[in-house]
Amino acid sequence: MNTTDIERSLITSYKKAIYGPFVKAVKEYRLIEDGDRIAVCISGGKDSMVMAKCMQELKRHGKDNFDVRYLVMNPGYNEANLRKIYENAEKMGIPIEVFQSDIFKVAYNSGGSPCYLCARMRRGCLYSKAKELGCNKIALGHHFDDVIETVMMSILYNGQIRSMMPKLKSTNFAGMELIRPLYRVKEQDIINFSRHIGVDFLRCACKFTEKDETAGDGKRAEMKRLIKKLKETNPQADFNIFTATHNVNIDTVVGCRKNGVLHSFLETYDD
């Protein structure tokens, strides 16, 4: 497919599965406001590339009330992976801006968990570069499945109900905000769209996982398997997990945190 065909497919064949849920999230969570300048952060993977195309279509066909930059950080990709990012961006008609960092090298030599350190450093670099470009928001490609997997990991491994939020204010970069426009888009639909348009996106291009296929977030893969198993007996299980974070009944919760402070149901039990 050429760029025109890809754009047509996104807003016609995949409107219900991808573009519609994308627009719904933007509106429902007020992710984009008048005058925003958004750095769309592209890793080269399917999620961030599809998000970038959705943002481009929204600006072209929606209300043109914001500016956008398509930002690619090169944390140390090998030549073949970097070339693939350029080729895919050209095929999809996305005008990317690439900047350099040495995150892969630093994370790999850290001696700790390279995946955790890499993720933290990447976000900090993206915030910094976006602010340098005059942006007030960065957009990341986390999707519906990332959200529900995070909820399940939090319950099963941290003993708390905690979700991945559709937007967050940065605590380290004043005036900056993170948004997740694919919040309502399912991963399988992104995979289906990628196959439909015939674009082979990067998977994990990290130099560490190239050497060790067992590296990475094993808990998240475990949650994928668990949710898939739950859906065998309850096809709505994934949607119900997602909806539950929007519909917490405080009257039936023993304890909750607000602004970091733990509150008990006993505080208002006799009221």
Residue 7: pLDDT band by 50, 70, 90 thresholds? very high
pLDDT tens-digit series, residues 201-213 = 988 655 555 444 4
pLDDT of 216:
46
pLDDT beyond 60 at 198: yes
Q: Are 155 and 196 in contact (CB under 8 A)?
A: no
Domain contains 9: yes
Q: Which two tokens stand for residue 230?
A: 């739950």
**Separation in Å, CA 265 to CA 43, 247, 258:** 44, 18, 13
Q: Are 148 and 227 in contact (CB under 8 A)?
A: yes
Domain contains 238: no
Asked whether the CA dihedral 90, 96, 102, 108 is positive or negative, the reply is negative
Q: Are 64 and 17 in contact (CB under 8 A)?
A: no
Which has more confidence, 118 or 144?
Answer: 144
Domain contains 33: yes
Q: Which residues contact 147 (CB under 8 A, 6 or more apart)?
A: 163, 164, 183, 242, 245
Asked whether the CA dihedral 247, 249, 255, 256 is positive or negative, the reply is positive
pLDDT tens-digit series, residues 45-65 = 999 999 999 999 999 987 778
Q: Residue 200 belongs to a domain with what CATH number? A: 3.40.50.620
Q: How does the average pLDDT of the chain come out, rounded?
A: 89
Domain contains 55: yes
Q: Taking Cα atoms as reference points, which of 181, 201, 194 lies closest to residue 10?
A: 194
Asked whether the CA dihedral 248, 177, 208, 82 is positive or negative, the reply is positive
Domain contains 241: no
What Rg, from alpha-carbon coordinates, does the chain have?
Answer: 20
Domain contains 268: no
CA–CA dist 4, 25 (Å, integer):
25
**Residues of the domain holding 99:** 3-143+161-216
Indicate the number of domains in the chain.
Answer: 1
pTM (predicted TM-score): 0.89
Domain contains 247: no
Domain contains 135: yes
